[in-house]
Structure 1
Amino acid sequence: MKAEAEAEAQEHMPAARVEQENDQAPEAASAGDPNFMTSLERGLAVLQAFSQERRVLTTSQISQRTDIPRAAVRRCLYTLAKLGFVAEDENRLFSLRPRVLKLGHAYLAGTPLANAAQPVLRHISSTLNESASVAILDGDEILYIARAPISRIMSIDIHVGTRLPAFCTSMGRVLLAHCSAEVLDAYFDRAKFIQYTPRTIVSRDGLRDTLASVRANGYALVDQELEIGLRSIAVPIYGTEGRAIAALNVGVQAARLSIAEMESRILPVLREGAQELALLAV
């Protein structure tokens, strides 16, 4: 009760005083950093609370997903609505507005790989008659930055900007396999491994062994670990310093293509495409 009363009281403070208190009480990750703006961090966290699965949220749901007090969430939503980034309906449900796309578009437009990948992906897609994608590692997830889709019935709606867990996706495993030992140890310390299907590898020892095989073989093949019926294969795209900067993959319906066919027919085309993108990714 006391915590709720304090939150409600803070909500009615003058805006300048609230901003000042936020800046003077940074989150644990930024404690002691006078230049860190907690209010900005909270606003970005509120935007990231929305996802493909949860496109409409209440204030309480956002608070639960971000661990930000409801009073602070309400102020963030009010500001974001004034700026045109979120919308509120008559039931006090919030959703993102198209203006949010400007934030991601600026990144994609300035990323040479995303621009260079599109014609290569179209060639791969037309050659194989399958959807092809490029993704980068962003935290514990992969972020799709380019895609050439084929119109088929797939339960997962994938497009540029889609995020998926790294540990159970082919592109995620390729990128994790090429991380340094220190980065990989930190990942295993913090990551949550969810059992999406009966096939999903969730044990840390099992995942480490799998990543070692991916590193040795130069590609990753994931068989229905993210979703039953979905099979994918990926290869790394190397930058000028020989570091894996992105991954290239093809995803198929498991009923249409066997693992052996993916390795014999799709893998060579992916490797050729990755080599071409490596020359363009400068």
Structure 2
Amino acid sequence: MAGSGSPISKGDLVQSFERGLAVIRAFDGRGPELTLTEVAELAGVTRAAARRFLLTLAEIGYVHTDGKRFRLRPRVLELGNAYLSSQGLAEVATPHMEQLVAEVDDSAALCVLEEDDILYVALVRTAARRIMALNVTIGSRIPAHPSSMGRVLLAHQPDDWRAAYLARAELQPFTPRTVEDPAKLGAILDRTLADGYSIVDQELDLGLRSIAVPLHEPDGTVSASLNVSMHSSRRSVDEMRDQLLEPLTRTASAIEADLAAITRRRRSFSISGDDD
């Protein structure tokens, strides 16, 4: 075994990597938030080792901590599906999204906000209908500002965060229709917050229209956004609002209800476990 100041062997690197992955996988079973002791027990490592791995993961943006409890951040999707397993978001949402797509005959997607981008965590497409030139898959990231899901998520951020975002963001034009003025985008976000949904007409991709609504946590915070997208020849903007907003909102509510039920079961399990 390599000692202090000694070259690190290949075997040591592989073993360390394996323990790091075990720390990430620890979030699969007990819920989205764990203490240091829980992580160490579930990963089969010492508390000292678990602390080093967790602080490293926090430093590079894969873990969030309040100093006592730890949870995975969406960025960990870049490494695999551990985030989805810990949150249950894609697993819960996908069956509802499949029903939505069958009902409206257009594609649906689910995203979370990661820094200034949206991160795709679930996708259900209509058969053999390609609507975007962009090759979007689960785990893809795109800037939030020209997308309906991104605008929903941006609109629900705290006021100070939104102001900082509008001051720093480079509003890249994806099409001639893309809003590039921060003040105009700010007004759009205010309207999105008031309306409870966002419609984007060919700002991300020419020919692409989409409508998105928020997904709420039990405490009312918005954790994700759900949309339906289609080619502009399928529906006008008014038709999208009239025909899709109700089923989209209904689907979001069903996903929220399932996620809330899972949270209640996890809390009940945790309380029962504490009594043992």
Smaller-chain TM-score bracket = 0.5 to 0.7
Does the CA contact (< 8 Å) of 2:167 and 2:182 recur in 1? no
Q: Calculate the TM-score normalised by the size of structure 1.
A: 0.64
Distance in 1 separating the partners of 2:52 and 2:235: 51
Show the 5 A alignment for 1:75-154.
103-150=79-126, 151-154=128-131
Question: Is structure 2 residue 172 aligned with structure 1 residue 194?
Answer: yes
Identity of aligned residues (%): 37
Distance in 1 separating the partners of 2:77 and 2:114: 18
Show the 5 A alignment for 1:1-282.
103-150=79-126, 151-154=128-131, 155-282=133-260
Quote how far apart the aligned CAs of 1:109 are. 1.9
SS at match of 2:240: helix
Quote how far apart the aligned CAs of 1:115 are. 1.2
SS at match of 2:153: helix
**Runs of 4+, deviation exceeding 6 Å:** none
Does the CA contact (< 8 Å) of 2:78 and 2:139 recur in 1? no
Residue type of the partner of 1:129?
Answer: D
SS at match of 1:227: coil
Q: Calculate the TM-score normalised by the size of structure 2.
A: 0.65
Q: Go from structure 1 to structure 2 and tell me whether the alpha carbon gap of 1:118 and 1:187 turns closer, same or farther (over 3 Å shift).
A: same
Residue type of the partner of 1:191?
Answer: A
Aligned residues: 194
Does the CA contact (< 8 Å) of 1:168 and 1:225 recur in 2? yes
Residue type of the partner of 2:130?
Answer: I
Residue type of the partner of 2:236?
Answer: S
Aligned-CA RMSD value? 2.5
Residues 143-200 of structure 1: CA distance to partner in whole angstroms, max 9, x if unpaired?
A: 1111111121232222211111101100000011011011112212321111111111
Residues 14-55 of structure 1: CA distance to partner in whole angstroms, max 9, x if unpaired?
A: 978xxxxxxxxxxxxxxxxxx999xx79xx79xxxxxxxxxx
Does the CA contact (< 8 Å) of 1:113 and 1:280 recur in 2? no
Does the CA contact (< 8 Å) of 2:107 and 2:124 recur in 1? yes
Q: Go from structure 1 to structure 2 and tell me whether the alpha carbon gap of 1:36 and 1:224 turns closer, same or farther (over 3 Å shift).
A: farther
Distance in 1 separating the partners of 2:88 and 2:179: 34
Give structure 1 stretches of 5+ with no counterpart: 1-13, 17-34, 46-99
